[in-house]
């Protein structure tokens, strides 16, 4: 059977993020190899960059500190990247190749709920502890797998507080239109939005899916416009949402509330959307305004933000932070186990209950984190302003989209 050749990147993490060359740590040096299949090319490439940046920052900090302490012996961190070209079946192939051919000790899951779920079957088959940095959908964790853990809370932890804020602050909102990318995470969060809306007495007047790689949404948007919803809720990834927002502007579609998940959490979305991004609401799993004093290698949230800015000249978002904390959690589990034995490390992850720069981390019986309160925010004056939770609230909801 033909299997497409997968580009692999092995780096010592001291190289630039965009490096596609192969480098390895000094020969004879003890290393722990982490496999990271990512969509480095293709439409999901912007998301892959974020995860690489988070992983690389963690690895660099771990290596600066001498490496990971395993029973009194220090091991350097090495991450092996594989480009599955934004193709979910290839992410499965990449995962198996990394486990069986690349001498990987532990795995980071591929990007998104769909690819993470598909690849988790391989991790389970080989009993490979895997941390998924970007998988929130419950369908990823309902397989009763023992070796998969994820750092995103379930999708309803985003949609429920968002809906409650809109209901409390926008009495004119009665009708909701939902448009979802036909992919596991975007569709799952749209379905949770539908549940949240109905539970709060709102009428869902439209719910449709659009195919991956759709370039023309004009007919769909025209139909939504004809229904005159006060709230338009759209899911997808950065490139999807920028395209849809542009086509909304072209059709002069306005609403009391416009929500997009997950692109607005990224600074590049805000920059690219410009004025059309103003007042768009969204939600994410982490925000740099949070203030945690963690027990991980980064310590405080503010220290993580400082280190990230120094390395990349960027404000970190939830995708960066989730990837970095996955590395930090592996480090803590390995050091607690005092071993590179996969089963011992898996056991430490399963019983983990620790405060990190990302927040409190505790995994449920299904492997999904259940200890976070994700923030809701709105783009105001080209910046994300946190509306919820109260502990880190930065402003009030503004109604209307330009």
Residue identified by tokens 């994700």 is 374
Q: Is the pLDDT of residue 340 over 60?
A: yes
pLDDT of the residue at 402: 65
Q: Say if residue 239 is in the same domain as residue 381.
A: yes
Q: What would the pLDDT profile of 342-396 be if each residue is shown by its tens digit?
A: 999 999 999 999 999 999 999 999 999 999 999 999 999 999 999 999 989 999 9
- For residue 401, tell me if it sits in a domain: no
**Residue 70 scores a pLDDT above 90:** yes
In this prediction, what percent of the chain has a pLDDT beyond 70? Answer: 93
Distance of CA 62 to the CA centre of its chain: 22
Q: Is the pLDDT of residue 20 over 90?
A: no
pLDDT of residue 9: 43
Question: Can you state the angle between helices 238-250 and 218-227, rounded to 10 degrees?
Answer: 60
Q: Give the least confident one: 13-22, 26-35, 95-104, 154-163.
A: 13-22
Q: How many domains does the chain have?
A: 2
- By residue range, what is the domain housing residue 173? 156-284+375-392
Contact between 263 and 43 under an 8 Å Cβ cutoff? The reply is no
Cβ of 396: how many Cβ atoms within 10 Å?
Answer: 11
For the segment 131-152, the average pLDDT, to the nearest whole number, is 96
**HSE-CB for 279 with a 13 A CA cutoff:** 15
Burial of 336 (0-12, 13-18, 19+ CB in 10 A): middle
28, part of any domain: yes
- Contact yes or no for 187/235 (Cβ under 8 A): yes
What mean pLDDT do residues 320-335 have?
A: 98
CATH number of the domain that 313 lies in? 3.40.50.2300
* Closest by CA position to 325, among listed 342, 345, 304, 340: 304
Phi, psi dihedrals of residue 191, rounded to the nearest 5°? -65, -35
Q: What is the DSSP letter of 79?
A: E
pLDDT recorded at residue 6: 39
Same domain, 194 and 317: no
Q: In angstroms, what CA-CA distances link 24 with 57, 80, 100, 326? A: 17, 10, 19, 22
pLDDT at 25: 42
Does residue 387 share a domain with residue 242? Answer: yes
* 173 and 141 together in one domain: no
Confidence of residue 13 (pLDDT cuts 50, 70, 90): very low
19 and 127 co-located in one domain: yes
Would you place residue 8 in the very low, low, confident or very high pLDDT band (cuts 50, 70, 90)?
very low
Q: How far apart are CA 365 and CA 143, in angstroms?
A: 11
- Per-chain mean pLDDT for the chain: 92
In a domain, 399, yes or no: no
Whether 260 maps to a domain, the answer reads: yes
Looking at the chain, the whole-number percentage of residues with pLDDT higher than 90 is 91
Q: Is residue 370 part of a domain?
A: no
Contacts of 229 (CB under 8 A, 6+ apart): 175, 176, 177, 205, 206, 255
Residue 201 has pLDDT above 90, yes or no: yes
Residues 153, 176: Cα–Cα separation, whole Å: 24
**Same domain for 298 and 280:** no
Q: Is 402 part of a structural domain of the chain?
A: no
Residue 110 near residue 137 (C-beta atoms within 8 A):
no
Helix, strand, or coil (residue 174): coil
Please state, in angstroms and rounded to a whole number, the distance separating the CA atoms of residues 231 and 197.
10
Residue 342 pLDDT: 98
The pLDDT value given to residue 29 = 67
Whether 398 maps to a domain, the answer reads no
The confidence band for 283, taking pLDDT boundaries of 50, 70 and 90, is very high
pLDDT score at 401: 73
How confident is the model at residue 16, as a pLDDT?
36
Rounded Cα distance between 259 and 168, Å, is: 16
Query: Which among 131, 176, 171, 133 has a CA at the least distance from the CA of 152?
Result: 133
Are residues 130 and 206 located together in one domain of the fold?
no
Residue 157, CA atoms < 13 Å, CB-side half-sphere: 19
pLDDT score at 200: 95
Q: HEC profile for 234-246?
A: EECCHHHHHHHHH
Is residue 56 domain-shared with residue 115, that is, in the same domain? yes
Single out the residue of 89, 122, 88 nearest to residue 107, CA to CA: 122
Q: What pLDDT score does 400 carry?
A: 83
Residues 28 and 140 in one domain: yes
Asked whether residue 240 falls in the same domain as residue 380, the answer is: yes
Q: Which long-range contacts (CB under 8 A, 24 or more apart) does 328-331 make?
A: 328/58, 328/294, 328/296, 328/297, 328/298, 328/356, 328/357, 328/358, 329/131, 329/149, 329/151, 329/296, 329/354, 329/356, 329/361, 330/34, 330/106, 330/129, 330/131, 331/58, 331/62, 331/68, 331/296, 331/297
Q: How far is CA 87 from CA 34, 112, 166, 363, in A?
A: 21, 11, 36, 28
Q: What is the pLDDT of residues 345-360, one digit of tens each?
A: 999 999 999 999 999 9
For residue 11, pLDDT over 80 is answered with no
Check pLDDT > 80 for residue 242.
yes
For residues 102 and 170, membership in a common domain is answered with: no
Contacts of 392 (CB under 8 A, 6+ apart): 287, 289, 290, 291, 375, 386
Quote the CA–CA distance of 85 and 67 in Å, as a whole number: 31
Has residue 322 got a pLDDT over 70? yes
Residue 369 lies in a domain: no
Distance, in Å, from the CA atom of 401 to the CA atom of 222, rounded to the nearest integer, reads 17
Same domain, 180 and 318: no
268 vs 262: CA distance, rounded Å: 12
Q: Which SS3 state, helix, strand or coil, does residue 354 take? A: strand
Give the pLDDT mean for 101-122. Answer: 97
């Amino acid at each position: 059977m033909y299997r497409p050749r997968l580009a692999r990147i092995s780096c010592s993490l001291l190289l630039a993020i965009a490096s596609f060359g192969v480098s390895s740590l000094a020969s004879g040096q003890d290393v722990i190899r982490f496999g990271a299949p990512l969509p480095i090319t293709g439409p999901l490439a912007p998301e892959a960059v974020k995860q690489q940046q988070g992983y690389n920052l963690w690895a660099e900090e771990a290596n600066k500190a001498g490496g990971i302490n395993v029973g009194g012996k220090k091991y350097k961190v090495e991450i092996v990247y594989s480009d599955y070209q934004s193709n979910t079946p290839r992410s499965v192939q990449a995962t198996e190749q990394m486990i069986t051919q690349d001498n990987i000790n532990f795995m980071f899951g591929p990007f998104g709920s769909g690819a993470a779920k598909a690849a988790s079957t391989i991790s389970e088959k080989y009993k490979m502890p895997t941390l998924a940095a970007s998988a929130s959908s419950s369908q990823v964790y309902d397989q009763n797998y023992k070796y998969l853990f994820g750092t995103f809370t379930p999708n309803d932890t985003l949609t429920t507080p968002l809906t409650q804020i809109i209901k409390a602050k926008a009495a004119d909102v009665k009708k909701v239109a939902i448009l979802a990318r036909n992919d596991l995470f975007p569709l799952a969060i749209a379905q949770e939005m539908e549940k949240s809306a109905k539970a709060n007495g709102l009428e869902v007047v439209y719910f449709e899916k659009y195919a991956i790689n759709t370039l023309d949404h004009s007919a769909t948007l025209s139909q939504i416009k004809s229904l005159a919803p006060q709230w338009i809720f759209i899911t997808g990834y950065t490139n999807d949402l920028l395209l849809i927002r542009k086509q909304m502007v072209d059709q002069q579609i306005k609403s009391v509330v416009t929500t997009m998940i997950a692109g607005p959490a990224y600074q590049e979305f805000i920059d690219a959307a410009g004025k059309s991004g103003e007042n768009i609401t969204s939600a994410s799993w982490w925000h740099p305004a949070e203030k945690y004093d963690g027990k991980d290698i980064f310590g405080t949230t503010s220290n993580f933000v400082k280190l990230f800015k120094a390395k990349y000249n960027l404000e970190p978002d939830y995708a960066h932070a989730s990837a970095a904390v996955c590395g930090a959690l592996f480090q803590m589990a390995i050091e607690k186990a005092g071993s590179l034995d996969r089963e011992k490390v898996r056991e430490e992850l399963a019983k983990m209950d620790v405060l990190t720069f990302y927040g409190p981390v505790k995994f449920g019986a299904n492997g999904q984190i259940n200890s976070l309160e994700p923030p809701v925010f709105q783009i105001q004056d080209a910046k994300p302003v946190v509306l919820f939770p109260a502990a880190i609230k930065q402003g009030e909801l503004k109604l209307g989209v330009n």
